[in-house]
Amino acid sequence: MFYRAIILFCLIAGTISTNIKLARIVIVGAGASGIAAASKLLENGFEDVLILEAENRIGGRVNTVKFHDYWVDLGAQWVHGEKGNVVYKMVADLNLTDHSDPYEDNIYTSTGELIDTRITKNITDTYVEDMDRVEEITRIECNRSIGECFENKLRQSFSLFPELNETMQDQLLWLFEMMQTSYDPADSWYDISAREYFEYSLCEGDQVINWKERGYSTILDILMKKYPNPEEELPVLNKTILNTEVTKVDYSSEDNTVKISTLDGKEYVADHVIMTPSLGVLKTQYETLFNPPLPENKVRNIKGLGYGNACKIFIAFNDTWFNPRGDKNGGYRIIWTKEEREKLDSNPKTRWMAYSVGFFYVEHKPRLLYIWVSGKGARLMDDVTDEEVYDQVTEMLYNMMSNMFNVTRPLAVIRSKWHQNKHFRGTYSYRSMETVATNSSASQLAEPIVKNEKPVVLFGGEATNEHHFSTVHGAIGSGWREADRLIRLYLKTDDTNGDLMTK
């Protein structure tokens, strides 16, 4: 009886092994989610895995580039939290990251006037405390947009300081809106749902863990086992085809296969395709990308979930004139008057500038500053050339900081361009008022398209992660989730004949 059991086990194991090796899987997108999915599949015995990537590099919205002797991240930059964060878990023992110092900054007008730190600290602390209580506040006091909920609470804080005139109050409200739309990349904080805000699960711990002299792309090497032991590297790169834009995912075949067509005229056939493009790409292309058209429920979620923009501008200098104390974490926030915003808005070339949150230090890169441009401003920059951005940044620096420092001219400027790139169309997802109105969710977006009880089109990416959307750890988790879905599928066998069970 014992030997019969061993023989039966070997037969089943052989069937499983054969089916896993023969399964054809195409992953669309070599971002963090796609790389995570491919790595896990290869680790678990799948061999016929192929990644099709539209860009000329892997990483997606993880994009580390060399800029004036430093590696900088044009996309994801910080590890957000420790407990429950899969990225932190992978890097915690590798001495690759560094915890940030307490944040130190001041708020200045665009013309260089320092705002009373006693006032700004009090109001900022109140705002942060309210955001920490957002679930309680929205459940009891307000279930509308973040803007509607918190504008009134901020005005209550303003009333404690009679010296804050109406102009100053308006400036501070704009600053807090820009801060909020740097977290949730909407055009306005009136677009951000307060009711769904607590759907995001904050990983406990430091929210701005930096990569020291490295960049976030290090996580890709760790996923592929290229680091820290190169001899253990998985063949992910060998199974990735760059500069290959997918134009059609045809899952209409009666044999349950999927045909993937690319811009260069090639076709690939798969048993399963894992879609990991950004939500921005899905919003733009869902009508033309799939045959047959996606189910109505899938379209509703693609349209209903929020997806927006952000931009970083890195500025290199010969020295560290802007940071005489050598602080590791901090900078200078900007406030703009309503008149300044209206003037900037009247010119298509300068409209983005009022969405600048401020100038900030870059950890472990002392000769760099960066500007964060929130939400709508990142999209408005599409009409501005790199040369114009350089001149505008230089002017902003001089106007704001020449009262305090001997401002020197930047050596160079580099910026992200996520919105204008058709392979991204923005940065990351959030929960919008439309999300609530349409009852959309990441979990619904993540549901695969199933034919004959077999998932043929699967969906990954940060926007499909119910509680960790907008993050790299959320993207990686979604890629692992879809890989696990296929692993479970191929490890289920029929008790009588060894055929695959697909329920």
User: Of 354, 380, 415, which marks where a domain is finished?
Assistant: 415
User: Of 415, 448, 477, which marks where a domain is finished?
Assistant: 415
List pLDDT tens digits, range 282-293.
999 999 999 999
Judgement on whether residues 361 and 341 belong to the same structural domain of the protein:
yes
The verdict on residue 439 lying in a domain is yes
User: Of 415, 450, 471, which marks where a domain is finished?
Assistant: 415
Nearest alpha carbon to residue 169 among 178, 181, 158? 158
The SS3 call for residue 272 is: strand
71-102 as b/e, with b when 16 or more CB fall inside 10 Å? bbbbbbbbbbbbebbbbbebbeeeebbeebee
The verdict on residue 92 lying in a domain is no
pLDDT value of position 10: 44
Judgement on whether residues 184 and 221 belong to the same structural domain of the protein:
no
Q: Which residue has the higher pLDDT, 203 or 125?
A: 203
Q: Which stretches within 277-337 are classed as H helix?
A: 279-289, 296-304
Q: Which stretches within 295-451 are classed as H helix?
A: 296-304, 338-345, 375-380, 386-401, 433-437, 442-446
Q: Which stretches within 104-216 are classed as H helix?
A: 117-132, 134-140, 146-158, 166-183
pLDDT value of position 137: 62
The verdict on residue 81 lying in a domain is no
Judgement on whether residues 221 and 286 belong to the same structural domain of the protein:
yes
User: In CATH, what number is assigned to the domain containing residue 370?
Assistant: 3.90.660
User: In CATH, what number is assigned to the domain containing residue 489?
Assistant: 3.50.50.60
Nearest alpha carbon to residue 171 among 113, 104, 103, 105? 113
Judgement on whether residues 411 and 315 belong to the same structural domain of the protein:
yes
Number of domains into which the chain is organized: 2
Judgement on whether residues 110 and 173 belong to the same structural domain of the protein:
yes
List pLDDT tens digits, range 314-344.
999 999 999 999 998 899 999 999 999 999 9
List pLDDT tens digits, range 441-460.
999 999 999 999 999 999 99
Beta-ladder partners of 374: 310
Residue 14 reports pLDDT greater than 50? no
The verdict on residue 260 lying in a domain is yes
Judgement on whether residues 220 and 194 belong to the same structural domain of the protein:
no
Q: Tell whether the torsion through CA atoms of 160, 151, 441 and 270 is positive or negative.
A: negative
> 476: how many CB neighbours lie within 10 A of its CB?
30
Print the domain residue range for 276: 10-62+213-305+430-498
Mean pLDDT calculated for residue range 399-422:
96
The verdict on residue 276 lying in a domain is yes
Judgement on whether residues 57 and 108 belong to the same structural domain of the protein:
no
Judgement on whether residues 482 and 361 belong to the same structural domain of the protein:
no
β-pairing, 267-270 vs 104-109, is: unpaired
The verdict on residue 83 lying in a domain is no
List pLDDT tens digits, range 46-97.
999 999 999 999 999 999 999 999 999 999 999 999 999 999 999 999 999 9
Judgement on whether residues 324 and 466 belong to the same structural domain of the protein:
no
The verdict on residue 422 lying in a domain is no
Judgement on whether residues 144 and 261 belong to the same structural domain of the protein:
no
Helices 166-183 and 146-158: angle between axes, nearest 10 degrees: 140
The verdict on residue 72 lying in a domain is no
Beta-ladder partners of 145: 193
List pLDDT tens digits, range 110-135.
999 998 888 888 888 877 777 776 66
Judgement on whether residues 266 and 336 belong to the same structural domain of the protein:
no
The verdict on pTM exceeding 0.85 is yes
Judgement on whether residues 219 and 201 belong to the same structural domain of the protein:
no
Helices 117-132 and 146-158: angle between axes, nearest 10 degrees: 140
List pLDDT tens digits, range 214-271.
999 999 999 999 999 999 999 999 999 999 999 999 999 999 999 999 999 999 999 9
